[in-house]
Structure 1
Amino acid sequence: MSQFTLNGVARSQDQQGKGASRRLRKENLIPAIIYGGNEEPVSIGVKTNELVKALSNDAFFSSVIAISIDGTEQEVIIKALQRHPAKGFPLHVDFQRIVRGQTMNFNVPVQIINEETSVGKKAGGVLTTLVTDIEINCLPRNLPESIEVDVANLAIGDSINLGDIKLPKEVTLVTADSEDLNRTIATMQAPTVETETEASEEASETAEASEE
């Protein structure tokens, strides 16, 4: 489990709102909030350069993060990120406190392994991944950076469902009902082959169009 550290400053009531947030960003601070853990929510600002650097690492989104505020460190996970719709830079972040010894729900990325050497790929199949992350429950100390999905034995026409995934020890899936386990994670599809007739028809149509 990767460990990231951010430095933050507490925000007062008069430092909140859209206008205050814009001023905060001019001071190279990104508005954020920390909530959960049986404590009151705290509005903070985190250093822009530190946050942008952390966001460039995919592991940041599935790791325990240490935020230092006025000499006091809090352990959190990122729960929501608001970005500028056009420029993509962070506008606001929601962090949730973790409580050691208590399990929590986490969203972690799915990592496909052995795609190039899989049975279906060798037969010319095309792997389609339908899910990029899944929700799990575990203790913070057992939080994996990603969940591996092995497609080595996936033949053309086969698929892997959520219930097929092998999870690390002491990690469980978060599902609404048993039907969720049938959700397709990845599927190996047959290649799309253009027939000779279709190809010649397209060529004829192109030639006719150019003559016109």
Structure 2
Amino acid sequence: MTATKVLTAQAREGVGKGAARELRRQGLVPAVIYGDKKTPVTIALPYKDVHKAIYAGGFKSNVLELDVDGTKHRVIPRDYQLDPVKDFPIHVDFLRIGANSVLNVEVSVVFINEEKSPGLKRGGTLNVVRHAVEVHAPANAIPEHIVVDLEGTDIGDALHISKVALPKGVTPVIQDRDFTIATIVAPSGLKSAEAGGEDEAASE
């Protein structure tokens, strides 16, 4: 679990497109805090802080603390909008987190021990099926990433979610199947050689 990041924000009164445009001209990004059966709070955050947080990765799976004019709000980003042309943030939605909140979040996948994979040593390729996995996790224990161990894997092996050690209290959202996260596939040269061998055997 990562340490909780703190972002400083300010309350805003104006709503609507005109007010939002004015905030952006001032170098601010309009946002809203909602949820936990409390009244939504409209806020504005410094553009540079929002841009940095979004492009650092894992933005929508990290719990944040928003300091709004001295009042602290524990939140998780639920959605954000980017300018369709310039890709800079123009709005963010934050979900307020209660003391015992359990959330569905996407967590990135990290692979370790590639050097201990016989399949990769033989020239195989790691074919990543899922770069992130949606999990059900307590708000105070969201993992920074999911670790998939490649030690001992060979060409033709598939790595399923059942073989991944998830932190306590964390479960995959998909429960109806043992889905694949990655496979070790043969190098193209080996595939061609095998195909050629099969063709020769068929012609004999």
Trace 1:64-79 onto structure 2 (pairs within 5 A): 64-79=63-78
Q: Which residue of 2 aligns with 1:204?
A: none
Q: Which residue of 1 aligns with 2:154?
A: 155
Task: Give the Cα–Cα distance (whole angstroms) in 2 for the partners of residues 115 and 34 of structure 1.
Answer: 42
For the residue of structure 1 that corresponds to 2:51, the secondary structure is helix
Amino acid at match of 2:129: L
Deviation at 1:124, TM superposition (A): 0.7
Q: Which residue of 2 aligns with 1:103?
A: 102
Task: Give the Cα–Cα distance (whole angstroms) in 1 for the partners of residues 112 and 28 of structure 2.
Answer: 38
Are positions 1:126 and 2:125 aligned together? yes
Task: Give the Cα–Cα distance (whole angstroms) in 2 for the partners of residues 113 and 53 of structure 1.
Answer: 27
Deviation at 1:120, TM superposition (A): 1.2
Amino acid at match of 2:146: I
Of 174, 180, 185 in structure 2, the residue corresponding to residue 184 of structure 1 is: 180
Q: Deviation string for 1:53-108 (max 9, x for gaps)? A: 22242254422100011210001111112112232211111111111123222221
Trace 1:24-63 onto structure 2 (pairs within 5 A): 24-63=23-62
Deviation at 1:185, TM superposition (A): 0.8
For the residue of structure 2 that corresponds to 1:25, the secondary structure is helix
Task: Give the Cα–Cα distance (whole angstroms) in 1 for the partners of residues 156 and 101 of structure 2.
Answer: 41
Trace 1:128-143 onto structure 2 (pairs within 5 A): 128-143=127-142
How many pairs align?
Answer: 191
Q: What percent of counterpart residues are identical?
A: 39
Task: Give the Cα–Cα distance (whole angstroms) in 2 for the partners of residues 83 and 102 of structure 1.
Answer: 28
**Contact 2:60/2:105 (8 A) holds in 1:** no
State the TM-score, normalizing by the size of structure 2: 0.85
Q: Which residue of 1 aligns with 2:10?
A: 9
Task: Give the Cα–Cα distance (whole angstroms) in 2 for the partners of residues 115 and 16 of structure 1.
Answer: 51
Amino acid at match of 1:135: E
User: Cα RMSD over matched residues?
Assistant: 1.9
Task: Give the Cα–Cα distance (whole angstroms) in 2 for the partners of residues 97 and 56 of structure 1.
Answer: 22
Task: Give the Cα–Cα distance (whole angstroms) in 2 for the partners of residues 112 and 25 of structure 1.
Answer: 39
Task: Give the Cα–Cα distance (whole angstroms) in 2 for the partners of residues 57 and 133 of structure 1.
Answer: 15
**Contact 1:4/1:60 (8 A) holds in 2:** no
Q: Deviation string for 1:136-157 (max 9, x for gaps)? A: 2222221111111112222111
Deviation at 1:25, TM superposition (A): 0.6
Q: Which residue of 2 aligns with 1:193?
A: 189
